């Protein structure tokens, strides 16, 4: 998120609001792993190297429902967005298990 002067701010921002759509909702009971655990797993799968090379890299968390796998997925994004990320690590938000590296 950019501040009024155009620089990036640290911390959590909720982004833009979505309208409620029951068909796109997921059961919150699937969420058993918080973002701190997602960060730990991502660090073990390349995030530590990204931050060693560029310690000021922003980290963005995206929680997403994977309908094909019927699971909730954390995407830990090392960069401002998925499009310009240096690395994206995906893990199951119910078990904390590593799924894949996207970049």
pLDDT tens for 36-88 read 999 999 999 999 999 999 999 999 999 998 888 888 999 999 999 999 999 99
Report field, pTM of the whole predicted structure over 0.85: no
Work out the pLDDT band at 28, boundaries 50, 70, 90: confident
Q: What tokens were used for 33?
A: 């792993």
Cα dihedral 11, 18, 30, 38 sign? negative
For residue 3, pLDDT beyond 60: no
**What pLDDT is attached to residue 1?**
47
CA distance linking residue 76 with residue 95, whole number of Å = 15
Residue predicted with more confidence, 29 or 88? 88
């Amino acid at each position: 998120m950019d501040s009024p002067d155009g620089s990036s701010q640290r911390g959590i921002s909720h982004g833009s609001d979505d309208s409620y759509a029951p068909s796109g909702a997921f059961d919150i009971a699937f969420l058993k792993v918080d973002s701190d655990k997602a960060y730990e797993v991502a660090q073990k799968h390349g995030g530590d190297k990204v931050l060693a090379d560029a310690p000021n890299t922003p980290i963005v968390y995206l929680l997403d429902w994977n309908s094909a796998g019927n699971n909730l997925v954390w995407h830990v994004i090392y960069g401002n967005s998925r499009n310009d990320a240096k690395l994206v690590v995906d893990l199951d938000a119910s078990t904390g298990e590593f799924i894949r590296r996207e970049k």
